[in-house]
Structure 1
């Protein structure tokens, strides 16, 4: 079930910085670093699991299976991307119940048409406002505990402008969303407008190379945001590190100077200490 700490931290005015995780290695590393929450990125899961773009190809089953394992392996509250809820209102109910049962603490549902596309990319289209409001109401009604938070995202800024995005954000809050997420504001002024207008906690999406200015957690908190997710940070860092290490091997045939984690410490992170203790206990049986 949902970890109540996330709701409690938001209610207390604490700022939530959530790095993006996309597999169990990234989850275990981030979970041990003391972040207040982790964010399961649909882009990252689609890339790492399928090797395909975040373009509505991942199914509910694909995502729920991996979200469940991440939530089981983390002690930190987990926020998880659920795209459009994977269909209509009945699908939204099924998705909310499934994510909550998986141990997620907050689910993110957006107002894009199906199949959705990754935020900060062109060609995104949104459904009518009343359709998304109905999804939010179903999501709120379908959860078993108010500790499980509903994050409602609109992608309307890019195609319909900031005024429509703000109108939708206000409607999402009125419909019962715990957190409002207006995707891809393009200036700091627009980011401030979001927090001046929306009567609910807000979320900022920090994507390196995206449309939104990258600000520090302190600045985002000052502007009025409650949560900042960094969905691409992990997989972009991993991609760069892999290219450097593999490139060193390809070019020189020697990895003596490669920047690598310690194998022993990494083995401990993966749980080998428990295996070693088990072997010692049962070695003479």
Structure 2
């Protein structure tokens, strides 16, 4: 797990994390990417034994602002959250970079900032700014040529070629699946490492994305909980050939339900004692109190 005082012989460097992510993307089985919305949930993903963690823009917006994912979170706020993730865990961190927060020039700065934060991968989408969650209505996309330029800018901006650039298209809901597939091909030609067709609405459409793009680049399947894409068993996703599977908001929804439950218990009983809560000592262990004790022993004089 991520430590307060990284051990150079154990904690991976950003380059090592990026190499690890590429290795995982190339593996025969799909890489499972649970979404996390803050450093604590990222630690829980790591402690559960996953190989990488996804910083969800939807979840970060809800966590930091208490608002929906409609383009309200700034690049600086999301970059700070990315740094917290990288500091909290030793896993490769994949980040939702929205539209790159503007035009191609903004994309250059976004990629440089995310790279300096130590992330292993990021995805850029072709919505207009401000964007919306990919499973909301009312989306719009930029012209194809504009997004191709943004992908080319991202490729040129990265200093470490190991940084995994994921190109997401939201065109299926706006221009149809044919256009979305054509856009994905163009983004691969512009240098994207991984392709992400957002929000196909049937298993047939999911299968078509896999069939037509599977030989072009590794593919993302976004299993957005409660979203427009129908849920598929992991075995089916693997059979179709997807390389990454994102579960973006399961942890956020679970945490929200748990907080609502304990607050209802306090409201009803005047105490949380009837709620299912972790023991205090168990929680402090989860967030690294024993490690703090080790540091106090080591450096306390």
What's the TM-score, normalizing by structure 1?
0.95
SS of 1:211 mapped into structure 2: coil
Cα-to-partner distance string for 1:177-220 (whole Å, 9 max, x where unaligned): 11110000001111111111111111011112110011122221
Question: Residues 194, 281 of structure 1: CA spacing in aligned structure 2 closer, same or farther, 3 A cutoff?
Answer: closer
The question of 1:261 aligning with 2:257 is answered no
Partner of 2:269: 252
State the 1:145 CA deviation.
2.0
Q: Is the 8 A contact 1:106 1:149 kept in 2?
A: yes
Mapped pair 1:138 → 2:169: no
Gaps of 5+ in 1: none
Q: State the match for 2:122 in structure 1.
A: 107
Moved more, 184-193 or 7-16: 7-16
Q: CA deviation at 1:279?
A: 4.8
Q: Does 1:275 align with 2:295?
A: no
2:75 corresponds to 1:39: no
2:100 to 80, 85, 88: 85
Q: 1:21 aligns with which of 27, 36, 51?
A: 36
- Partner of 1:17, secondary structure, is strand
- My pick for the range that moved more, 221-230 or 272-281, is 272-281
Aligned residues: 284
Judge conservation of contact 1:248–1:258 (CA < 8 Å) in 2.
yes
Is the deviation greater in 164-173 or in 214-223? 214-223
Instruction: Tell me how far apart the structure 1 counterparts of residues 132 and 171 of structure 2 sit (CA, whole Å).
Output: 12
CA change 1:72–1:282 in 2 (3 A) is closer
SS at match of 1:215: coil
Taking a change above 3 Å as real, the CA distance of residues 256 and 166 of structure 1, as seen in their structure-2 partners, is same
Residue 246 of structure 2 corresponds to residue 229 of structure 1: yes
SS at match of 2:123: strand
User: Is 1:12 aligned to residue 24 of structure 2?
Assistant: no
Shift of 1:282: 7.4
1:176, CA displacement in angstroms? 1.2
Structure 1 residues 152-231: aligned runs within 5 Å: 152-198=167-213, 199-231=216-248
Stretch deviating more after TM superposition (183-192 or 2-11) = 2-11
Q: Show the counterpart of 1:76.
A: 91
**Mapped contact 1:17–1:217 kept (Cα < 8 A):** no
Matches of 2:279 and 2:231 in 1, distance apart? 31
Question: How far apart, CA to CA, are the structure 2 residues paired with 1:14 and 1:105?
Answer: 19
Q: Which moved more, 1:176-185 or 1:142-151?
A: 142-151
Distance change (3 Å), C-alpha of 1:280 and 1:78 = closer
Between 1-10 and 36-45, report the one with greater CA deviation.
1-10
CA contact (8 A) 2:26 2:243 kept: no
Bigger drift between 188-197 and 211-220 goes to 211-220
Q: CA deviation at 1:258?
A: 0.9
| 1:137-161 C-alpha deviation (Å, 9 max, x unpaired) | 1111111222210000011111211
